[in-house]
Structure 1
Amino acid sequence: MLDTTLCNSYLSVNLQTIINNMQSIQEDIGPDVECIPVLKDNAYCLGAVPIAKALCTYANVRTIAVAQVCEGVELRQAGLSAPAVLVLGGVPERLFPAAVEYGLQLTVFHPSTVYALEKLAAAQGKRAEVQIKVETGLNRTGAKPGAELGALATALAACPHVRTMGVFSHFSTGETKESPTAYRQFQLYQQALAQLQAAGIDPPQKHMCNSGGSDWFRASFCNAVRIGRRLYMDNQAEPLTPGTPGAVQEACSWRASVTNLRVVEAGDTVGYDAAWTAPRRTRVATVCVGYGDGLYYPLAEAGGPLLVGEQRARLLATCMDQCFVDVTDIPCRAGDEVTFFGQSSGGATMPIQELGKFMHVEGVYFYSFLSPRVARVYEGLEP
């Protein structure tokens, strides 16, 4: 296992900020709506186990959502036996036994999945828990209202060892306020609920809304919402005013250090394949991380912003393990801190949402590229 104390860079994850964000969101959505944290992809590469433990201990989380069986098993093996764990994605049948063994809720949208789980659970003397996924427009997975959902309901009614715990769908344009597509999707979801109720299926948990819709589409809350990105950062298009219910703070900072300084003359090049050509005499800092650590390659190509010490600088190019920064107008030396996003040790900020706007992507993308050789350091609470 990698000794993270020996890593070139580290990601500071403030667990107290995440708890505060969760409580702010819960205050905003109301006490009658359950907030389901989505900790897929190792909680967006931030560390699912410590974040899940903090949320269950300090925020009374009852359900956690993940994307794959392996992620749910990891939480169970870490001692998280109390919360329900919902696997949102489609699952290969070879993983059904592990899901049943560890008490994970699987998403179902084909009758064949229900019958396979019934056979497996009956043989083990257990009940398999599932949630129904309704297809409303994302066209990824789910049973469409009508014949497909009817066949699924028939299968569920015929399988006593399969317990339906919820029914959900997913917005394709949730981040866009007043999206006509989101309104149409929610209407289809309501039709699906009515169809299931007519078939005698009325599970306790109903959820359609994700992070994007949770700060504007209140009518779609049902009795639960799924929160992923919003645990760590606000909506970059229209962030809420700090201090208001639902407003959140960025929870993570990625820091490294300068390892070398060199002055290049006008016309000199930097990096592989002459990635950047100096238009003038330029002082260039080499920093000890690259795209192999998770530095978003297009951000470097576009000359994205970052902090050197407490001052703003710009990226010039990146290699797999190192990158180059223009520090012509910044007094610095080898060993100085570099902050790619978040807050520097001295309090200067490089909001990850600013990087998202700069690259026209969601800020959470920059988390998802971080490799295991970026040490995760948990602050604010005991993980």
Structure 2
Amino acid sequence: MRAEARIDLDAIRDNIAAVRARVGSAAVMSVVKADAYGHGLLPCARAARAGGAAWLGTAVVEEALALRAAGDTGRVLTWLWAPGDRFEDAVRADVDISVSGLWAMREVVDAARASGRTARVHLKADTGLGRNGCQPADWPALVEAGLKAQADGAVEVVGLWSHFACADEPGHPSIPVQLVEFTEMLAHAEGRGVTPEVRHMANSPATLLLPESYFDLVRVGLVSYGLSPVPEVGGPADFGLRPAMTLAASLAGVKRVPAGHGVSYGHSWIAPRETTLALVPTGYADGIPRNASNAGPVLVAGRRRTIAGRVAMDQFVVDLGDDPAAAGDEAILFGPGDRGEPTAEDWAVATGTISYEIVTRIGARVPRVYTGTTAGTTATGTAAP
């Protein structure tokens, strides 16, 4: 083992079960976009289903089609579309499609007619995030287009939804404004005759902090993988979550160097005394942030260390002082924190980012190794007994 990301699938299953217990009658969508936030699309989707996720969410259609190809038959929503995208493939695969504008509605209708199937559509409202979604001024036209397509048998409008901009900032003034806007846009659509299966707005932080945003369905991404989207409010354990990923590597070398010896490119770290250096064979090509140079925390030889010198493409160095170690010993970059190892949140703080980026950036060169009883489940549309 040079390096590996160990994924505890039972933790993912249990995280989803904890969300289900929190949200009452609302259904749960586990967001598995971006290769399940770097954890592995198909194994994590199966674990989420085993925990009771009635829905899966993907950003792009290729992710949704991969789920179908693997045998997942449950509800899957995909929301990031571009003109000329694979709408027809999605309709044929019974993938729910988010529609934010009239151009997308036209493409969905064409795809439905070409496939001979009725497309399942969620109309997305931009209530203040300013990314995808239909502006309030354009909402009536989109609703009417959806109703016309539904009357023609091309689509079924099964969802109405939106997304928060600042739910991870408790007390932010945009939160109640967005809730009011969404409620008004819902009222307009339902008043015109839309009868959705699900209305949904809550993302991970809203699921933890804003029960008034649950509606019929909550969408949890980061929370699925046991990380807190609101670390200033509480860590994973405070919300009944467990981090699923542990990133580890085997030391590729250990050696003594004299005082004054420089380390890595640019010699941004110079040994202040005779010391022992350990080489960790992961670098920015594996997703280790380069700005973790002289900052990233690592557990080696029973203690937390700090990266010494610059992170290179394939490797970095830690200073062990006089502590003993040998090539092949384990270094843990981050994990749940049970053994004193750093967490993904510790890395986020050290590098000035968020834990989302820390886990999703771990590259394909690092194999994922799956543990837990859930590792043997199959992808289905319902929770395991």
Could you state the TM-score of these two structures normalised by the residue count of structure 1?
Answer: 0.91
SS at match of 1:93: coil
- Whether 2:329 is the aligned partner of 1:336: answer yes
- Whether 2:19 is the aligned partner of 1:29: answer no
SS at match of 2:355: coil
Deviation track 1:185-231 (CA, whole Å, cap 9, x = no partner) reads 11111111011112211311111111111111111111111101011
2:379 alignment partner in structure 1: none
Which amino acid is 1:63 matched to?
W
Deviation track 1:85-118 (CA, whole Å, cap 9, x = no partner) reads 1012233323112211222111101112212221
2:91 alignment partner in structure 1: 100
Deviation track 1:231-263 (CA, whole Å, cap 9, x = no partner) reads 121232222684x7x421111101101111233
1:61 alignment partner in structure 2: 53
Which amino acid is 2:299 matched to?
L
Q: Do the aligned residues in 1 keep the contact of 2:75 with 2:96 (CA within 8 Å)?
A: yes
Identity between Structure 1 and Structure 2 (%)? 28
- How far is the alpha carbon of 1:329 from its aligned partner? 4.1
Q: What is the aligned counterpart of 1:158 among 142, 148, 153?
A: 148
Which amino acid is 2:22 matched to?
D
- How far is the alpha carbon of 1:376 from its aligned partner? 0.6
Which amino acid is 1:200 matched to?
G
- How far is the alpha carbon of 1:348 from its aligned partner? 3.6
How far apart, CA to CA, are the structure 1 residues paired with 2:12 and 2:28?
13
- Whether 2:231 is the aligned partner of 1:239: answer no
User: Once structures 1 and 2 are overlaid, which stretch shifts more, 88-97 or 202-211?
Assistant: 88-97
- Whether 2:269 is the aligned partner of 1:276: answer yes
Runs of 4+ in 1 over 4 A off after TM superposition: none
Q: Do the aligned residues in 2 keep the contact of 1:33 with 1:222 (CA within 8 Å)?
A: yes
Q: Do the aligned residues in 2 keep the contact of 1:240 with 1:247 (CA within 8 Å)?
A: no
1:4 alignment partner in structure 2: none
Which amino acid is 1:352 matched to?
A
1:112 alignment partner in structure 2: 103
Cα distance, 1:207–1:352 mapped onto 2, change above 3 Å: same
- Whether 2:308 is the aligned partner of 1:318: answer no
Cα distance, 1:141–1:182 mapped onto 2, change above 3 Å: same
How far apart, CA to CA, are the structure 2 residues paired with 1:27 and 1:307?
34
2:361 alignment partner in structure 1: 369
How far apart, CA to CA, are the structure 1 residues paired with 2:17 and 2:219?
14
How far apart, CA to CA, are the structure 2 residues paired with 1:372 and 1:116?
33
Q: Do the aligned residues in 2 keep the contact of 1:145 with 1:191 (CA within 8 Å)?
A: no
1:298 alignment partner in structure 2: 291
How far apart, CA to CA, are the structure 2 residues paired with 1:278 and 1:309?
19
How far apart, CA to CA, are the structure 2 residues paired with 1:17 and 1:94?
35
Which amino acid is 1:153 matched to?
V
1:18 alignment partner in structure 2: 12
Structure 1: unaligned runs, 5 residues or longer: 1-6
Deviation track 1:272-307 (CA, whole Å, cap 9, x = no partner) reads 2334333333321111111111112112x2422110
RMSD: 1.9
Which amino acid is 1:12 matched to?
R
Which amino acid is 1:127 matched to?
T
How far apart, CA to CA, are the structure 1 residues paired with 2:127 and 2:323?
52
Structure 2: unaligned runs, 5 residues or longer: 377-385
Deviation track 1:52-101 (CA, whole Å, cap 9, x = no partner) reads 11222x223221000000100111111112x1110122333231122112
Q: Do the aligned residues in 2 keep the contact of 1:205 with 1:223 (CA within 8 Å)?
A: yes
Q: Do the aligned residues in 2 keep the contact of 1:10 with 1:256 (CA within 8 Å)?
A: yes
How far apart, CA to CA, are the structure 2 residues paired with 1:158 and 1:86?
22
Could you state the TM-score of these two structures normalised by the residue count of structure 2?
Answer: 0.91
- How far is the alpha carbon of 1:373 from its aligned partner? 1.4
1:3 alignment partner in structure 2: none
How far apart, CA to CA, are the structure 1 residues paired with 2:347 and 2:66?
31
How far apart, CA to CA, are the structure 2 residues paired with 1:192 and 1:240?
34
Q: How many residues align?
A: 369
Cα distance, 1:322–1:342 mapped onto 2, change above 3 Å: same
1:91 alignment partner in structure 2: 82
Which amino acid is 1:276 matched to?
W
How far apart, CA to CA, are the structure 1 residues paired with 2:18 and 2:121?
29
1:8 alignment partner in structure 2: 2
1:358 alignment partner in structure 2: 350
SS at match of 1:65: strand
